[in-house]
Amino acid sequence: MSSIITSIGICHPAKEIKNSYFEDFLDTSDQWIRERTGIERRFFALENEFTSDLCVGAVQSLSENYNKELGDIDFVIVATTTPDQTVPSVASQVQNKLNIKQAGCIDISAACGGFVYGIILAKGLIAAKTHRKVLVIGAETLSKVTDFSDRSSCILFGDGAGAVIVEASEHNGIFNALTDTDGSYGKELYLSNRALYLNDEKIVADNKLHQNGRVVFKWAVSTLVKKIRELLSVNNTDLQDIDFLIPHSANIRILEAVCKELDFPIDRCMESIRQYGNTSAASIPIAWYNGIKNGKIKPKDNLLLIGFGGGMTCAGICLRNEIDIR
């Protein structure tokens, strides 16, 4: 059975955080943040606002352009590194809040690669004919696990969510995928609330996100270039046939370096970093949604989505955009 993506929606908290916010308590500046990351602002959840709330908001946004039932969704996948709690899953909270009865529910942990992993799993469930309509959400409240004393990381992260519906279809709109992980990079990017050992080293856990920015940056550029080429190859296609590239938005300079290396026009690379910061699992659907909303991405455009992040994980997929929400 083939599958297509029929609808998309996004959500972010109302509280807007400009770069100048950090100037009050850190040795940083709006100029440094814009020049080194591309970020102009991000949104932070309130104390009583959680990842599951943003997921519900993204589904409500999705339902504005989806004219069919949501009640027959038979599986919910939430990709997140910032679940409301470990158990119950965010997916089961979403199922309950949206009253989607009898749906299977799981959270997946693949950091910023999570949304693409979710689409790959949804496509697999539909191909196996066990499910017909899968809700895939990438959602984060990274502000709750940000170390605000670390100026090189705290300026990066933002909160948000993006949701899509993957449905069984007579014609195929989701093509070949690839997944990859390099676990040896574990301690370059981690988040834990318990004592942990990474690469045989004991690490003091404080429930904050820690990363070695320079190492992650270099890994991201070389991995993205290599994996995009591999993904094109497994799809028997080349970059000329891709209308829009949608990589995880971690830093505008990563996207610029990748486009330069691939000789791909930067204006056909969709990003969400400038207006939302790094929203991890939510960054790709937010960039996709806004690309459609502002009239750039049109129905039948070929997209290449590629996520990467803590793990270090990487996942990419080629698909055809079927959505029009302008």
Query: For the chain, what percentages of helix, strand and coil (3-state, to nearest 5) are there?
Result: 35, 25, 35
DSSP 8-state secondary structure symbol assigned to residue 265: -
- Residue with Cβ nearer ligand ACO (21 or 66): 21
Binding status of residue 109 toward ligand ACO by CB under 6 A: no
Should residue 79 be labelled a site residue for ligand ACO when binding is judged by CB under 6 A?
A: no
Best CA proximity match to 137, nearest among 96, 106, 174:
106
CB of residue 310 vs ligand ACO: minimum separation in angstroms? 4
Task: With residue 2 as reference, give the H or E element that holds it.
Answer: strand 2-11
Judged by CB under 6 A, the number of residues near ligand ACO is 22
**Nearby residues of 318 by Cβ (< 8 Å), 6 or more positions away:** 175, 176, 177, 231, 232, 235, 237, 242, 302, 303, 304, 305
Helical residues (DSSP H) of 26-170, grouped into ranges: 30-37, 51-63, 90-98, 114-127, 151-154
Q: Which is nearer to ligand ACO, 100 or 259 (CB)?
A: 259
Q: Is 151 in the site for ligand ACO (CB under 6 A)?
A: yes
Can you say how many angstroms the Cα of residue 91 is from the centroid of all Cα atoms in its chain? 16
> Smallest distance from the beta carbon of 229 to ligand ACO, in angstroms?
20
Q: Of these, 278, 288, 297, 323, which contacts ligand ACO (CB under 6 A)?
A: 278
Radius of gyration of the chain (CA): 18
Taking CB under 6 A as the criterion, the residue among 98, 220, 242, 257 binding ligand ACO is 220
CA dist 150 and 228 (Å) reads 32
Q: Which stretch binds ligand ACO (CB under 6 A): 30-38, 72-80, 164-172, 298-306?
A: 30-38
Q: Which is nearer to ligand ACO, 253 or 296 (CB)?
A: 253
Q: Which of 105, 210, 248, 318 is catalytic?
A: 248
Kindly tell me which of 36 and 268 has the beta carbon lying closer to ligand ACO.
Answer: 36
Interface segment toward ligand ACO; rule CB under 6 A; list 52-60, 147-155, 164-172, 237-245? 147-155
Residue of 1, 2, 21, 32 interacting with ligand ACO (CB under 6 A): 32
Q: How far is residue 28's CA from residue 79's CA, in Å, rounded to a whole number?
A: 31
Q: 42-71: string of b/e by CB count within 10 Å (b at 16+)?
A: bbbbeeebbbbbbbbbbbebbbebbeeebe
Per the residue annotation, which of 55, 112, 269, 318 is the catalytic one?
112
Q: Which residues bind ligand ACO (CB under 6 A)?
A: 28, 32, 36-37, 111-112, 151-152, 155, 189, 211, 213-214, 216-217, 220, 250-251, 278, 280, 309-310
